Amino acid sequence: MTTKTVNIPKINCGHCTGTIEREVSELEGVNSVTANKDNKTATIDWDETTIKWEQISELLEEIGFPSVD
Ligand SMILES: [Cu+2]
C-alpha cells in the first residue's frame, strides 16, 4: 500500500471534502481517502498493483479538484 498527502487548493468546505472522498474512494484499488478542509489536503492510500497515482490524479482533475504536489 502507498500513501500520499497532496494539497488541493480548491477545497473550500465540507461539501468539497465529501465529493473528493466519495469519488476517489470509488476507484478500484483505493483503500482510503481523507480530505481536510482546514489545511486543504487529501490523504489517499492505494494499492500500487491495482492503480497508479496518475489515474487518481486524473480523476481529481476531472471532478474539479486538481492536486498540487
Ligand atoms: Cu466546498
CA of 65 to the centre of ligand 1 (A): 10
Q: Which CATH number fits domain 2-62: 3.30.70.100, 3.40.50.10090, 3.40.50.720, 3.90.550.10?
A: 3.30.70.100
Asked if 6 and 39 count as a contact pair (C-beta separation under 8 A), the reply is: no
pTM for this prediction: 0.95
Indicate whether 1 pLDDT > 80: yes
Q: CA 64 to CA 24: how far, in whole Å? A: 12
Q: CA 15 to CA 36: how far, in whole Å? A: 11
CA of 13 to the centre of ligand 1 (A): 4
| pLDDT 10s digits, 4-32 | 999 999 999 999 999 999 999 999 999 99
How do the domains of the chain map onto residue ranges?
2-62
CA of 20 to the centre of ligand 1 (A): 10
Indicate whether 69 pLDDT > 90: no
Q: CA 47 to CA 61: how far, in whole Å? A: 20
CA of 14 to the centre of ligand 1 (A): 6
CA of 49 to the centre of ligand 1 (A): 32
